[in-house]
Structure 1
Amino acid sequence: MSDEERRDSLADQAAAWVPPWERPRPPAPTTAPAEAEAESSDAAAGEPAEPVEADEPGVPAAAVASEAGVPAAAGEPAAAGAARGVPRREPVGRRRPAVVPEPAPELADAELRGALEAILLVVDEPVSELVLAQVLEQPAERIGPVLDEIAAGYTAAGNGFELRRAAGGWRLYTRPEYATYVERFVLDGQSVRLTQAALETLAVVAYKQPVTRSRISAIRGVNCDGVIRTLVTRGLVEECGTESDSGAFLYRTTTLFLEKLGLNTVDELPPLAPFLPDDVEELADATR
């Protein structure tokens, strides 16, 4: 082909070329009237649209990513996903509120009274109102009045036992008027566990606590180291620090001591004045 023929061919091709924007578009697929009405009603009701496949022609990539749960591209409005019917997802860092357990139902007065009596029959030491409230899953302010009511009922009925406070808690005890029968049953001819020296030393510790061994020995007039060790072993006396001046150990009575005597605090001990001799001041001056 000569140069002149080649130029004519290129000119014909240039004259026949049509820009893309002027080319005729392919006809759009027709939609049935019933389907069009269903789609418009779904969009108006806000129902989520069917998921879009990634290879569906004519769907932007951003829409496919949004349908799959991928964040929209920069510049895309936040309402675009809602307009397409995509359910909104909460941020990853947001936590759901903790589930608060429902409080236990309150027991009836009769049932609460029976539960308290059953527990008090099996305890081996005084139990506090707070512990009873935790075990029964009831408000602590309900326990005290019910225990007072139970104690008053036992007293009014004249039972051989009573319910009273001791060592910061509650426990069942036999009544003092029946002590001789209980002692006869428990001891059954056995000797008293504590000697006279141990009882005297325990009394000094109870009324003078906290007190050192030397002070106890000075009051009793004899060495009491062995007796103190016996009382500590029995759990009636315990160490409670040291004296600031001499560094000697201090001793006090224990919770077991209050429990055995049926006392709530040492302040309930009987006064010593009626048991002291008339010349107690002279004796005190003589021992100094």
Structure 2
Amino acid sequence: MSDEERRDSLADQAAAWVPPWERPRPSAPTTSPAEAEAESSDAAAGEPAEPVAPRETSEPGEPGESAEPIEAAEPVVPVEAVVPAEPIVSGEPVVPVEAVVPEVDVPAEAGASRGAPRREPVGRRRPAVVPEPAPELPDAELRGALEAILLVVDEPVSELVLAQVLEQPAERIGPVLDEIAAGYTAAGNGFELRRAAGGWRLYTRPEYATYVERFVLDGQSVRLTQAALETLAVVAYKQPVTRSRISAIRGVNCDGVIRTLVTRGLVEECGTESDSGAFLYRTTTLFLEKLGLNTVDELPPLAPFLPDDVEELADATR
């Protein structure tokens, strides 16, 4: 018999073999009613009853049962004889089981009770890798980068935003900007770097304002009318203020002017008055940017511009 036929026959025997613990147990003999009456009559007559043979079982160790195993109908074939010890040669490489089956998360309690070593669970979040901080730029390179950004911004930019863009500590940005501003002032350039609206931006110097106005306003009309400028001044110095209060100060209805200022982004709503429920208005960041101010506290005082008889005018309006 060849090796292949021998392997096939052993495989068939192994496939058809049923373990003893899975085989059906022999059914217990049933006793008919006539036999039961005969046995009871024999017992009454004093005849000794036939000894009961112990029940055969495939699982020894139970009380009152035989410990002899049931003979298998077919010979038991060891697994080593069915599965060859040599690996099957195929065209694909043999992949180890450890590379295919991932490690299973075993709870600490279960592993301790079974004596199994604890493994790293599959899918557990590993601690986040903290990125290394960017290297600090040299002072000259940082200064140049700040100047390049400030030349292209269309609104004041804060130190925090500059630090995030350049990936540098925020505490380095402020001193460098102060140094740049001082350098522009010392050099007498036609522009300067100053704080405005909570950020930094380049502005032309006041002494060159006439030349800038001639270039910008040549052939153009003033954007804001006199009424809009007056209304904007009232809002700037009295904010937050209602429309009725603005109209009372100016002496005319200012609803249309307020809508114009809101549309152009110079004035915005900031809540309602608690007593009347009227809307309150204040100046915006764009207003500070256009005037080159950092806060409204930098507005010039009104006392030098007030008339001498302001108290008489106030009494006349009452």
- Verify same fold: TM over 0.5: yes
When structure 1 is superposed on structure 2, of 46-55 and 136-145 the one drifting more is: 46-55
- Inter-CA distance 17–217: structure 2 relative to 1 (3 Å threshold): closer
When structure 1 is superposed on structure 2, of 37-46 and 263-272 the one drifting more is: 37-46
When structure 1 is superposed on structure 2, of 71-80 and 22-31 the one drifting more is: 22-31
- Inter-CA distance 129–23: structure 2 relative to 1 (3 Å threshold): closer
Task: Give the conservation status (yes or no) of the 8 Å contact 1:201–1:224.
Answer: yes
Deviation of residue 279 (structure 1)? 1.5
CA displacement, residues 110-158 of structure 1 (integer Å, 9 cap, x when unaligned): 0000000000000000000000000000000000000000000000000
CA displacement, residues 151-174 of structure 1 (integer Å, 9 cap, x when unaligned): 000000000000000000000000
- TM-score, with length taken from structure 1: 0.69
CA displacement, residues 231-256 of structure 1 (integer Å, 9 cap, x when unaligned): 11111111111111111111100100
- Inter-CA distance 91–63: structure 2 relative to 1 (3 Å threshold): farther
Task: Give the conservation status (yes or no) of the 8 Å contact 1:48–1:87.
Answer: no
Deviation of residue 269 (structure 1)? 0.1
Q: Structure 1 residue 149 and structure 2 residue 149: aligned?
A: no
Task: Give the conservation status (yes or no) of the 8 Å contact 2:234–2:246.
Answer: yes
Task: Give the conservation status (yes or no) of the 8 Å contact 2:243–2:279.
Answer: yes
CA distance, structure 2, for counterparts of residue 135 and residue 111 of structure 1: 14
- Of structures 1 and 2, the one scoring higher in RCO (CA 8 A, sep 6+) is 1
Deviation of residue 35 (structure 1)? 74
Task: Give the conservation status (yes or no) of the 8 Å contact 2:13–2:77.
Answer: no
Unaligned runs of 5+ in 1: 65-69
CA RMSD, 1 decimal: 21.6
Task: Give the conservation status (yes or no) of the 8 Å contact 1:49–1:85.
Answer: no
CA distance, structure 2, for counterparts of residue 196 and residue 274 of structure 1: 20
Which structure has the highest helix share of the two?
1
- Inter-CA distance 19–158: structure 2 relative to 1 (3 Å threshold): closer
- Inter-CA distance 271–25: structure 2 relative to 1 (3 Å threshold): closer
CA distance, structure 2, for counterparts of residue 138 and residue 209 of structure 1: 38
CA displacement, residues 95-114 of structure 1 (integer Å, 9 cap, x when unaligned): 43321111111111000000
Deviation of residue 32 (structure 1)? 72
Task: Give the conservation status (yes or no) of the 8 Å contact 1:242–1:249.
Answer: yes
When Rg is computed on C-alpha atoms for both structures, the one with the higher figure is 2
CA distance, structure 1, for counterparts of residue 93 and residue 307 of structure 2: 100
Task: Give the conservation status (yes or no) of the 8 Å contact 2:266–2:286.
Answer: yes
Task: Give the conservation status (yes or no) of the 8 Å contact 2:156–2:200.
Answer: yes
CA distance, structure 2, for counterparts of residue 128 and residue 198 of structure 1: 30
CA distance, structure 2, for counterparts of residue 255 and residue 42 of structure 1: 118
CA displacement, residues 216-271 of structure 1 (integer Å, 9 cap, x when unaligned): 11111111111111111111111111111111111100100000000000000000
Residue 119 of structure 1 aligns to a residue in which SS? helix
- Inter-CA distance 123–84: structure 2 relative to 1 (3 Å threshold): same
